[in-house]
Every structure is written in structure tokens, then in C-alpha cells.
């Protein structure tokens, strides 16, 4: 048995680094095409999106925040003596 000397291209016509580079470029191109198709046809209004708060809700949240801070302040005074 004698070992055949392998060439640097591992039996391929193109060097392996060039093959990997071409695959990466092709994958990037496919991602760009997919994004273009999805942006043209797929992005629609999202009904599950968070809706803006009403003035009443913002006012209620401010009241709750003040109430919680008051309770925390009273609790802090009790623990300090």
C-alpha cells in the first residue's frame, strides 16, 4: 500500500475556502430574498400588539403608584421606629 498524495483542494475543482464563501454568499442572498418577499406580502397589522394607554388608564396607574409609594413610606417609618 502506498498513500496517494492529496492535493490542497481535497479532490474538488475549487478550493474549499472558495466553496464556503460561495455558500455563505448564497445563503445571504436567500435571506435577503426571503425578507423582500415577506416585507412585500407578510408584514401586516399585528392585532396582538400592545395598544396605547388611554388617559383614564394612565391616571389610574399614577394613583396606584402614589398609593404604593405611600404604603412603602409608612412601612419604612414603622421599621425605623
pLDDT of residue 11: 73
4-26 confidence digits (pLDDT tens): 565 566 777 888 899 999 999 99
pLDDT of residue 7: 59
- Does 1 have pLDDT greater than 60? no
- φ and ψ at 72, to 5 degrees? -65, -40
| CA–CA dist 81, 77 (Å, integer) | 6
33-55 confidence digits (pLDDT tens): 999 998 888 777 777 778 889 99
Considering only residues 77 and 11, tell me which one the structure prediction assigns the higher pLDDT. Answer: 77
Amino acid at each position: 500500500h502506498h498513500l496517494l498524495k492529496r492535493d490542497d483542494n481535497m479532490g474538488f475543482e475549487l478550493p474549499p475556502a472558495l466553496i464556503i464563501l460561495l455558500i455563505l454568499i448564497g445563503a445571504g442572498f436567500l435571506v435577503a430574498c426571503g425578507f423582500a418577499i415577506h416585507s412585500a406580502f407578510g408584514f401586516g397589522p399585528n392585532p396582538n400588539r400592545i395598544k396605547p394607554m388611554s388617559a383614564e388608564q394612565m391616571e389610574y396607574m399614577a394613583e396606584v403608584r402614589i398609593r404604593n409609594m405611600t404604603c412603602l413610606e409608612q412601612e419604612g417609618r414603622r421599621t425605623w421606629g
